[in-house]
């Protein structure tokens, strides 16, 4: 299978492999997925896949990270609670993202896919507050990981929910309270870091 001509309407190989990842994951668990499955579904040879990605986990990590609703995560980090985002979802198409995250974190996924999603979400929150994990106290790290894992696990049971129904689901008073407390933890860590830096 040769490389498509530059003026071809065929999708680039990298995009075809990413789409193939989700197609194959819908058909079988990640633990049973192979490089050959992706190569066959994307109509590329194994060498092409190995050129773009070091391994299957590398492709999976990129695919999962791309599906995170970055704008929503950033808005929540800015202090906007999930219930406040309901009115903004009318114009946003979230169904495919929700379905793909459900695949990654639900029954067809596995621990490593959930870990990719959790680490990417944590990185977004840390970046929003100009923090790294090393800026947090051990108990603050545990709290952030616990909350992020809990929020993402909801995706694993969200099959069939529309994006609005999902947001409503995570907008319960308990979820909103937990999110608010986590943001307080990050703000406290941010303030402590700023105070340390200004004291130098």
Q: What is the DSSP string of 136-151?
A: S-HHHHHHHHHHHHHH
φ, ψ of residue 78 to 5 degrees: the values are: -80, -5
Mean pLDDT in residue range 151-178: 72
pLDDT of residue 20: 96
pLDDT tens per residue, range 55-97: 999 999 999 999 887 777 777 777 776 666 666 655 456 778 8
CA proximity to 146, closest of 178, 176, 100: 178
As a whole number, the mean pLDDT across the chain is: 83
φ, ψ of residue 45 to 5 degrees: the values are: -90, 165
Cβ–Cβ < 8 Å for 166, 154: yes
CA–CA separation, 178 and 174 (whole Å): 6
pLDDT tens per residue, range 5-29: 454 567 889 999 999 999 999 999 9
Q: What is the DSSP string of 87-137?
A: GGGGG---HHHHHHHHHHHSTTS-HHHHHHHHHHHHHHHHHHTT--GGGS-
């Amino acid at each position: 299978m040769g490389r498509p001509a530059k003026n071809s309407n065929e999708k680039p190989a990298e995009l075809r492999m990413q789409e193939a990842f989700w197609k194959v994951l819908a058909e079988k668990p990640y633990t049973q997925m192979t490089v050959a499955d992706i190569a066959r579904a994307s109509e590329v040879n194994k060498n092409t896949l190995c050129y773009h990605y070091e391994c299957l986990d590398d492709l999976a990590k990129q695919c999962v990270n791309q599906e995170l609703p970055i704008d929503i995560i950033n808005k929540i980090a800015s202090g906007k609670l999930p219930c406040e985002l309901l009115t903004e979802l009318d114009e946003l198409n979230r169904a495919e993202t929700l379905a793909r995250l459900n695949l990654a974190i639900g029954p067809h996924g596995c621990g490593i896919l959930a870990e990719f999603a959790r680490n990417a979400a944590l990185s977004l929150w840390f970046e929003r507050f100009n923090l790294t994990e090393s800026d947090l106290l051990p108990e603050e790290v545990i709290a952030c990981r616990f909350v992020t894992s809990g929020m993402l696990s909801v995706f694993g049971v969200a099959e069939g929910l529309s994006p609005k129904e999902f947001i409503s689901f995570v907008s319960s008073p308990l979820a909103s309270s937990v999110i608010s407390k986590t943001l307080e933890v990050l703000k406290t860590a941010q303030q402590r870091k700023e105070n340390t830096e200004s004291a130098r």
